[in-house]
């Protein structure tokens, strides 16, 4: 009968689920291939017919990435630059987002428009002048050569997210704080910030990802091996003669781990942070 209710696993067979499965497959298969290949021996990576599951399972690529290709240095550098830049973006962005979203001040709209214009400005157009500036400051081949530009380029987007999130917090929260006797700073710290955490997490994840994967500035400003970050370092694994796919796969897997962990932990905040303020709640 047409209207008979499906039972068992049959009830999962519908258009939405099939489409979702196909999309997940499209996204997940390359990721699986990357991970699987990172555990294959170099010989088995390009073998025909292809090996769908590593056999033998080997950790030698991971060891080689660290020992033979200085991946440890690149990972450390990426971590330092990304964490500091993200912390700066969140600190400054939260304060700016609060001011633009909650405080009475003139010129808010022009400021927001300016921020938007900065955020869509092509990075490549600024590489040359930035290079000259950093050279004058003697900052080339240093952590600050990346930290400061990363902060500057990611701040506008963070401010937009945080400002929109702050707008969704009822103004009675601050008024209650005032009546209770909280100073403005105490109000921000104890009352506003805890409620803005989803927005902060969202901005943090986006900033972290942007800094972690940034290539152009990292390549241009830090040519010394001791200050290279992961994207640049891994791209230089190969030589004219050899492209060490095995070690590249292993390095790529390690590089995705921090982002994967962050997004997994804070996944529910990512959606709420992006869509906050869209609907009155």
Partner 1 sequence: MATVSMDQVNKVYPNGFHAVHDLSLEVADGEFMVLVGPSGCGKTTALRMVAGLEDISSGIMRIGGREVNDLSPKERDIAMVFQNYALYPHMTVAENIGFALKLRKLPKDKLDAKVKETAEILGLTEWLNRKPGQLSGGQRQRVAMGRAIVREPSVFLMDEPLSNLDAKLRVQMRAEVSRIQRRIGVATVYVTHDQIEAMTMGDRVAVMRAGVLQQCDNPQVLYDRPDNIFVAAFIGSPAMNLYEGTVGDGGRSVRLGSQQIDLPGAVTVAHSGLASYAGKTVVVGLRPEHLPAAQAGLTGPVLTGDVDLVEALGSELVIHFTIDAKRVVAEGAHAADAEAATISGEGVARVDPRTPAKAGDRLNFAIDTDGIQFFDPDSGAAIWT
**219 lies in the binding site for partner 1 (CB under 8 A):** no
Q: Which of 55, 68, 135, 175 binds partner 1 (CB under 8 A)?
A: 175
CA distance 191 to 9: 47
**179 lies in the binding site for partner 1 (CB under 8 A):** yes
Kindly tell me which of 2 and 171 has the beta carbon lying closer to partner 1.
Answer: 171
Task: Tell me the DSSP string of 29-47.
Answer: HHHHHHHHHHTS-HHHHT-
**281 lies in the binding site for partner 1 (CB under 8 A):** no
**184 lies in the binding site for partner 1 (CB under 8 A):** no
Q: Which of 178, 215, 265, 268 binds partner 1 (CB under 8 A)?
A: 178
Kindly tell me which of 53 and 109 has the beta carbon lying closer to partner 1.
Answer: 109
Stretch that binds partner 1, among 29-37, 94-102, 182-190, 267-275 (CB under 8 A): 182-190
Stretch that binds partner 1, among 6-14, 106-114, 173-181, 248-256 (CB under 8 A): 173-181
**191 lies in the binding site for partner 1 (CB under 8 A):** yes
CA distance 219 to 279: 42
Stretch that binds partner 1, among 24-32, 113-121, 134-142, 172-180 (CB under 8 A): 172-180
Stretch that binds partner 1, among 89-97, 133-141, 181-189, 202-210 (CB under 8 A): 181-189
User: Under rule CB under 8 A, how many of the chain's residues touch partner 1?
Assistant: 15
Between the CA of residue 129 and those of 126, 217, 236, what are the distances in Å?
6, 12, 25
**186 lies in the binding site for partner 1 (CB under 8 A):** yes
Following CA atoms 216, 148, 86, 220 in sequence, which dihedral angle do they give, to the nearest 10 degrees?
Answer: 20
**181 lies in the binding site for partner 1 (CB under 8 A):** yes
Q: Which of 46, 72, 170, 260 binds partner 1 (CB under 8 A)?
A: 170
**182 lies in the binding site for partner 1 (CB under 8 A):** yes
97, two tokens: 């987002």
**112 lies in the binding site for partner 1 (CB under 8 A):** no
**195 lies in the binding site for partner 1 (CB under 8 A):** yes
The answer to whether 162 and 98 are in contact (CB under 8 A) is yes
**268 lies in the binding site for partner 1 (CB under 8 A):** no
Rg (CA), the chain: 24
**194 lies in the binding site for partner 1 (CB under 8 A):** yes
First-to-last alpha carbon distance for the chain, in angstroms, is 43
Kindly tell me which of 220 and 276 has the beta carbon lying closer to partner 1.
Answer: 276
Kindly tell me which of 48 and 172 has the beta carbon lying closer to partner 1.
Answer: 172
Between the CA of residue 97 and those of 55, 214, 273, what are the distances in Å?
52, 24, 13
CA distance 195 to 168: 10
Helices (H) and strands (E) in the chain, counts: 14, 0
With CA atoms as reference, report the closest residue to 188 among 252, 116, 101, 248.
101
CA distance 118 to 152: 9
Q: Which residues bind partner 1 (CB under 8 A)?
A: 170, 172-173, 175-176, 178-182, 186, 190-191, 194-195
């Amino acid at each position: 009968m047409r209207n008979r209710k499906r039972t068992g696993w049959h009830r999962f067979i519908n258009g939405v689920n099939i489409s979702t499965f196909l999309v997940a497959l499209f996204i997940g298969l390359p990721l699986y291939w990357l991970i699987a290949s990172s555990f294959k021996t170099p010989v088995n990576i390009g073998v025909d017919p292809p090996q769908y599951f590593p056999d033998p399972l080997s950790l030698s690529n991971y060891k080689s990435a660290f020992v033979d290709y200085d991946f440890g240095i690149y990972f450390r550098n990426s971590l330092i630059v990304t964490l500091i830049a993200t912390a700066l973006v969140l600190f400054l962005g939260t304060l700016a987002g609060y001011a633009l979203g909650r405080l009475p001040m003139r010129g808010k709209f022009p400021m927001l428009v300016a921020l938007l214009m900065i955020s869509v400005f092509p990075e490549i157009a600024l590489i040359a002048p930035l290079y000259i500036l950093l050279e004058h400051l003697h900052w080339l081949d240093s952590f600050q050569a990346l930290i400061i530009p990363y902060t500057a380029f990611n701040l506008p987007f963070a401010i937009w997210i945080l400002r929109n999130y702050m707008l969704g917090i009822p103004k009675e929260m601050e008024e209650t704080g005032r009546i209770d006797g909280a100073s403005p700073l105490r109000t921000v710290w104890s009352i506003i910030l805890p409620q803005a955490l989803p927005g902060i997490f969202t901005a943090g994840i986006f900033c972290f990802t942007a800094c972690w994967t940034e290539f152009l500035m990292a390549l241009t400003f830090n040519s010394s091996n001791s200050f290279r970050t992961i994207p640049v370092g891994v791209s230089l694994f190969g030589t004219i003669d050899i492209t060490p796919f095995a070690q590249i796969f292993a390095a790529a897997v390690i590089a995705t781990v921090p982002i994967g962990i962050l997004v997994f932990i804070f996944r529910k905040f990512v959606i709420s942070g992006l869509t906050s303020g869209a609907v009155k709640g």
